[in-house]
A and B are shown apart, each in its own frame.
Chain A
Amino acid sequence: MAGTLVFAEATEDGKLNPVTAELCGAAQKLGGDITVALLGKGVEGLAAAAGAYGAKKVIVVDDAQLETYLGDTYIQPAERIAKEVGADTILFAQTMMGRDLAPRLAARLGTAVAMDCTALTSEGGKMHAERPCFGGAAKARYSFTGTPAMATVRVKALEPAEAGASSAEVVKQDANIDAGKVRSKVTDRRKEKAEGVRLEDAKVVVSGGRGLGGPEGFQPLETLAGILGGAVGASRAVCDLGWYPVAAQVGLTGKVVTPDLYIAVGISGASQHMAGISSVKNIASVNKDPDAPIFKASRWAVVADAKEFVPAFIEEVKKVKAG
């Protein structure tokens, strides 16, 4: 089948992951029929929503065994659906699921996958996938020698499709998981940090790096984020040092954030950090080093010591807020 198979996802609170619209937007531009596959537990009710972005067909596998993502279980229906649909192109999001599942599925389909793509184009009817590499310092564009061409797409990097009335045919399938092929199991899962505004949803993110001087430097950032109704992020360097929870890590190996305003304090701007904020239009950065690479990507640059600047800035923000 000429066309695209999109692996949609549900969120933990049972909604359709908005990245589905972004994947379908990309699939629309590539052309051809769109089939959406949705795997999980309690996801049947999301089929219409999943089909609202131009899909011709939605395949739903709603099974208790798919409640928690596990590669060995998810790969089974995913492989079956991919072979049955026979699409030219298969798209995943670069999420925990996409990261883990797409390379395995590519190997099973005898093809390759380009990971974490930020642009997909159609050249002579075939997908070309563009993606950052070298920690974001360069970009590479790939074509595929065989079919299907596969890509995972960076969250919030592509224009979402508009939701319309769903005319998609909904097909329910059983998971049919062969327990003999499940060689792994999840025995425990714990959240690290759940209070406050989610980093991925925040309109304002205040992030700290090594320039804070120590873990205590995050306290004023939390105060500032609180006043601005935002969330606190951190560089990989300080997460590795144990100054701040890993869940707050922004960058290539952490979270991709897309706030309206990103305030970077004491972050030099290693390209792997910049990979997490590549879609942010408004960056204000504070660094002691006038040559910090982050300044080049910033709309506002403040050369200052975080310890002196942040308390003063908190007072100024309070004044502005008070009108």
Chain B
Amino acid sequence: MPHIVCLVKQVPDPETPASQFKVDESAKKVIPAPGIQPTRSQFDTIGVEAALRIKDKLPDTTITVMSLGPDSFRDSIKHCLAMGADEGVHVNDPAINDGDHWQTAEVLAAAIKKLGAFDLIIAGRQAVDWDMGVVGSTIAEILGVPVVTIAKDVQMAGGKVTVERVLLDGFETVEASTPAVVTVSNELGEPRYPQLRQIMQAAKKEVKPWTLADIGISAPAPRVTLEALFIPDTSVATEVIEGDTAQEKAQKLAQRLHEAKLI
């Protein structure tokens, strides 16, 4: 009976308009935009989709959704349960909820060990808040299992996982023995959206609340310090090309680019 653990993070909505995206430079934190709810990190729900596609073929697969963060993260776990995952684990401890990437990986690896045997851990290629892209690989190293990053297709059969990886100029197929970690990219496709019936069913699915004490570890020491967080100034002097018709604007732009010796 295959067991897949999907790692899911909650993030500030990446569609937040630039005008409403603000940071508190002294606290080194993003200020939540009023009226905009946090959401699931997109690559992570794509990871749940990858797990569900495996479960579609191998129906006795169990999918555990695991998340590390404050109370609000429960909503993201519930969403993934409504997508079709079987059970949730919510690691929630003030001592670690704001940890760096190493701390996050260390705690998640310990929580996965406590869960027991697994065949596959699936994570997004990166969380869309910090965009670091290291937690999946770090967990693989801690657990001593192979990792295949940036997948667009994940198949599991006969003690191995077959992964299509996205390269800059094409694709490659990588086979790895299981248990393994796979990180997925947007090329895998859109995650399914839960039906109302599934949302109601998900209400009955269990989400285990775990603290560090429940896992049996203390908070690992951080390995980086965030020294500064700020919004870079990217604005440039913009000339709006005026004109009554597309034709006129096209002519003016071509002229400008020619004057600037760019064409």
Which A residues fall within an 8 A CB radius of B? Answer: 70-72, 95-96, 99-100, 102-104, 106-108, 111-116, 128, 130-135, 137-146, 183-194, 204, 228, 236, 239-240, 246-247, 252-253, 255, 260-261, 271-272, 274, 278, 282-284, 293, 295-305, 308-309, 312-313, 315-317, 319-321
In the bound complex, residues from chain B placing their C-beta under 8 Å from that of A317 are 254, 263
* A303 touching B225 in the complex, CB below 8 Å, given contacts A104-B141, A135-B128, A261-B263: no
In the bound complex, residues from chain B placing their C-beta under 8 Å from that of A139 are 228-232
Contact B173 A316 (CB under 8 A): no
In the bound complex, residues from chain B placing their C-beta under 8 Å from that of A297 are 234-236
Contact B169 A191 (CB under 8 A): yes
Q: How distant is the Cα of A67 from the Cα of B91 in the complex, in angstroms? A: 42
In the bound complex, residues from chain B placing their C-beta under 8 Å from that of A193 are 169-170
Contact A133 B130 (CB under 8 A): yes
* A141 touching B227 in the complex, CB below 8 Å, given contacts A103-B137, A255-B168, A282-B262: yes
Contact B249 A304 (CB under 8 A): yes
B176 within 8 A of A: yes
* A308 touching B140 in the complex, CB below 8 Å, given contacts A100-B149, A116-B131, A316-B251: no
Q: How distant is the Cα of A283 from the Cα of B235 in the complex, in angstroms? A: 12
A103-B133, A187-B173 given; name 18 further pairs at CB < 8 Å. Answer: A71-B149, A96-B168, A104-B147, A107-B141, A112-B102, A112-B223, A139-B228, A140-B228, A143-B227, A144-B223, A145-B224, A183-B146, A183-B177, A184-B176, A272-B14, A312-B249, A316-B251, A320-B257
Q: Please encode chain B, from 126 to 150, with 1 for each CB lying within 8 Å of some chain A CB and 0 for all others.
A: 0011111110011011100111111
12 pairs of residues in contact across A and B, judged by CB atoms under 8 Å: A137-B18, A137-B21, A138-B229, A143-B225, A184-B177, A185-B174, A260-B262, A282-B262, A296-B238, A298-B238, A304-B246, A321-B263
* A142 touching B246 in the complex, CB below 8 Å, given contacts A96-B167, A189-B171: no
In the bound complex, residues from chain A placing their C-beta under 8 Å from that of B246 are 304-305, 308-309, 312
Contact A247 B168 (CB under 8 A): yes
Contact B18 A190 (CB under 8 A): no
Contact A184 B223 (CB under 8 A): no
Q: How distant is the Cα of A215 from the Cα of B232 in the complex, in angstroms? A: 34
In the bound complex, residues from chain A placing their C-beta under 8 Å from that of B166 are 246
Which are the 3 A-B pairs with shortest beta-carbon distances? A107-B141, A112-B223, A184-B176
Contact B172 A320 (CB under 8 A): no
In the bound complex, residues from chain A placing their C-beta under 8 Å from that of B190 are 240
B204 within 8 A of A: no
* Nearest CB on A from B172, distance (A): 4
B115 within 8 A of A: no
In the bound complex, residues from chain A placing their C-beta under 8 Å from that of B150 are 99-100
Q: How distant is the Cα of A107 from the Cα of B186 in the complex, in angstroms? A: 26
Q: How distant is the Cα of A87 from the Cα of B30 in the complex, in angstroms? A: 34
Residue of B nearest to A239 (CB): B187
Residue of B nearest to A229 (CB): B263
Contact A142 B226 (CB under 8 A): yes
Q: How distant is the Cα of A132 from the Cα of B148 in the complex, in angstroms? A: 24
Give the residue among A132, A236, A312 with the most B Cβ atoms within 10 A.
Answer: A312
Contact B260 A247 (CB under 8 A): no
B241 within 8 A of A: yes
Q: How distant is the Cα of A100 from the Cα of B148 in the complex, in angstroms? A: 8
Q: Please encode chain B, from 146 to 166, with 1 for each CB lying within 8 Å of some chain A CB and 0 for all others.
A: 111110000000000010001
